[in-house]
Each structure stands twice: as C-alpha cells, then as structure tokens.
C-alpha cells in the first residue's frame, strides 16, 4: 500500500500526472497479463530518477524498474510496491561519430534504426528485440550471434544514493542473459554504444533479413515474452520441449507455441497463473524425460 505521506513525497519528485495508482500491469507487459501495481511512476528524466530511487531506498519501499515489459511475468495479484518506469518519456538518442548514445527508455529497434541511418553497423541483431536499451543491457539481450556485450561501451546508472555512476563494458560482467545490474540496485539511465562504419544499404538488408526470419519462426502474432527459458548448455530449450511432446500444450489461456516451442504464449485471455502453470509443467516434464533443468529467462514479479 502507498500511504498518503508516500504519495505526497512522490508528488515532490514527479508531476502528478506521471503517477498511476492501482495500475494494471497487463498494460505494461508483452504477455498482456498481470494484476495492478500499487503505484507506477513514469519517469521523464535522470533528475526525477535520482530523487525517486534515493527516496524508495531511504523509505524502504519495494520497487521494480520497468522497461518495455517484454521479459517479465507479473502475478495476477499484482505488485505491492512502486514500479519505476524508464520508458517512452526517456527515449532520446543521439549520434557522435561512431557512437550512438541513448537514454535507457529508448527502444532497441529505434536505436538500431538510428545507427542504420548513420551508416553505423553492430546493432542489426537488436533491431527486432522488443525491449528498451535499459532492459537490453541489464539482460545482455542477444540474437543471431550478436549481444549487447559486443557493442556497449559505457553504461550510466543511478545508484541507491541517487548518485550517477559510469560503468565501462568490462565492469558490467556481461554473461549469457546476465549483467552485474541484475544483482545490484542500479537503474540504467543512458548507454553509449560504440559501433563501426558500415554500408547503410547492407545494414538495412541485414535488418530486413533478420525481421523476416523472426516473422517466419516466432509466434509474433501472440502476446509473449519471447523465449521463455534460457538455452540449457548443450541443448535448445524449444527442441527439448517439442521432443517432450509439449508442442501446443495448453493450460487455461496459456500454451506452448506450435510455431516455436521455446515460446509460452498468451493464446487468449490467459492469466499469469496459466502462464506460470505451463512454465512449471514444461520444466517438470523436460526434467523427468531428459534430466535437464530449464531455467526461465523471464523475470517473475509479485509471485
């Protein structure tokens, strides 16, 4: 619960119209499921973020940093705490020589397009990932042989004291769908990508090709969070799930995609519980049949 005193404090940091109470998280998750968050604050700039992040730490209020919600599953019960949304209102992108410098709320697709327009190569792989720059860096998002680790030069974050820190690539401890920020109370505000000069037409052709491959292989017509599970060493999650006989496996409104078994999708009116039940059952059956642990890539919130 957000008390009146907390609400008054929030209003001191951000305009009232940026504060949403009992905000349905189904509106902010690409799974299109999830109950209400006590409060969601849409941030507009670094200054607001600095003050708010410091405040929630001092006041001991549970909080969660939200990008585009393309890798989260929020419980039907919702979230008891404050959602700090670093999204559309913090999406400025600029180019300086071979560097693209983006606010954390910019979409990866937007940043890849700006790079392409400036004849800079390196971000083509990210053009079809539906997340923000912040979420992409935190998750070390990757596709088609590319990952954030290869192109990130410098990450600007706000720490729990509301101070700005700059982390060079080497300090990010990038790993498979991992960066140090997954274990630290840092909020990404800006990222500098160091790219190479390339041929604009070639860059565009690569992006078009990757988009076509996604459309062909992935169930983009259904709400989901992309690949539900991490790739287990030596295997492909989708292949194991298919071999386990779970293609099209359904519980309530959630199911294993028939097009790509690595995706659990919202096939219509799913609840978060339906999605979670499918995830758990897939994990159980794959473990039982192949002795492989499927670890979710999706971040769970409020369970």
Ligand X SMILES: Cc1cc2nc3c(=O)[nH]c(=O)nc-3n(C[C@H](O)[C@H](O)[C@H](O)COP(=O)(O)OP(=O)(O)OC[C@H]3O[C@@H](n4cnc5c(N)ncnc54)[C@H](O)[C@@H]3O)c2cc1C
Tell me the DSSP string of 107-167.
Answer: BHHHHHHHHHHTTEES-GGGTT--SBHHHHHHTT-EETTEEGGGTEEEEEEE-TTS-EEEE
Residue 112: count of CB within 10 angstroms of its CB: 24
Stretch that binds ligand X, among 10-18, 128-136, 191-199, 283-291 (CB under 6 A): 128-136
- b/e code 52-73 from CB counts within 10 Å (16+ = b): bbbbbeeeebebbbbbbbbbbb
Stretch that binds ligand X, among 67-75, 92-100, 247-255, 288-296 (CB under 6 A): 67-75
Is 177 one of the annotated active-site residues of the chain? yes
Distance (Å, whole) CA 294 – CA 303: 19
For the bound state, the minimum distance from the C-beta of residue 132 to ligand X, rounded and expressed in Å, comes to 3
Q: For residue 147, what are the β-bridge partners?
A: 142
82 binds ligand X (CB under 6 A): no
Q: How far is CA 53 from CA 92, 157, 282, in A?
A: 21, 11, 37
66 binds ligand X (CB under 6 A): yes
Chosen residue from 10, 102, 120, 181 binding ligand X by CB under 6 A: 181
User: Nearer Cβ to ligand X, position 224 or 271?
Assistant: 224
Stretch that binds ligand X, among 2-10, 124-132, 162-170, 253-261 (CB under 6 A): 124-132
Q: How far is CA 150 from CA 102, 123, 143, 301, in A?
A: 16, 9, 12, 29
Residue 24: count of CB within 10 angstroms of its CB: 16
Chosen residue from 120, 172, 225, 270 binding ligand X by CB under 6 A: 225
Site string for ligand X, 233-272 (x = CB under 6 A): ----------------------------------------
Chosen residue from 26, 48, 68, 283 binding ligand X by CB under 6 A: 68
Chosen residue from 35, 78, 122, 134 binding ligand X by CB under 6 A: 134
Binding site for ligand X (CB under 6 A): 30, 64-72, 86, 104, 129-132, 134-136, 138-139, 141-143, 181, 187-188, 220, 224-226, 299
């Amino acid at each position: 619960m957000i008390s009146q005193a907390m609400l008054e404090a929030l209003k001191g940091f951000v305009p009232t119209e940026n504060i949403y109470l009992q905000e349905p998280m189904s509106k902010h998750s690409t799974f299109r499921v999830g109950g209400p968050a006590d409060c969601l604050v849409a941030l507009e700039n670094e200054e607001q973020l600095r003050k708010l992040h410091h405040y929630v730490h001092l006041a001991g209020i549970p909080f969660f940093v939200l990008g585009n919600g393309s890798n989260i599953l929020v419980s039907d019960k919702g979230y008891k705490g404050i959602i700090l949304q670093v999204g559309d209102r913090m999406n400025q992108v600029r180019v300086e020589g071979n560097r693209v410098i983006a606010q954390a709320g910019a979409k990866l697709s937007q940043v890849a397009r700006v790079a392409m327009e400036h004849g800079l190569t390196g971000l083509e792989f990210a053009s079809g990932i539906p997340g923000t720059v912040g979420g992409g860096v935190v998750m070390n998002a990757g596709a088609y042989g590319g990952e954030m680790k290869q192109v990130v030069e410098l990450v600007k974050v706000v720490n729990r004291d509301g101070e700005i820190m700059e982390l060079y690539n080497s300090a990010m401890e990038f790993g498979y769908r991992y960066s140090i920020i997954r274990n630290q109370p840092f909020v990404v505000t800006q990222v500098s990508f160091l790219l190479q000069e390339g041929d604009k037409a070639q860059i565009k052709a690569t992006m078009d090709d990757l988009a076509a491959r996604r459309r062909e292989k992935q169930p983009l017509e259904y709400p989901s969070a992309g690949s539900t599970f991490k790739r287990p060493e030596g295997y492909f999650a989708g292949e194991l799930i298919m071999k386990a006989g779970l293609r099209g496996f359904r519980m309530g409104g959630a199911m294993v995609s028939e097009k790509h078994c690595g995706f659990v999708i919202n096939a219509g009116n799913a609840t978060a519980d339906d999605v979670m039940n499918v995830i758990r059952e897939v994990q159980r059956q794959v473990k039982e049949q192949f002795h492989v642990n499927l670890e979710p890539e999706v971040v769970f919130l409020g369970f």
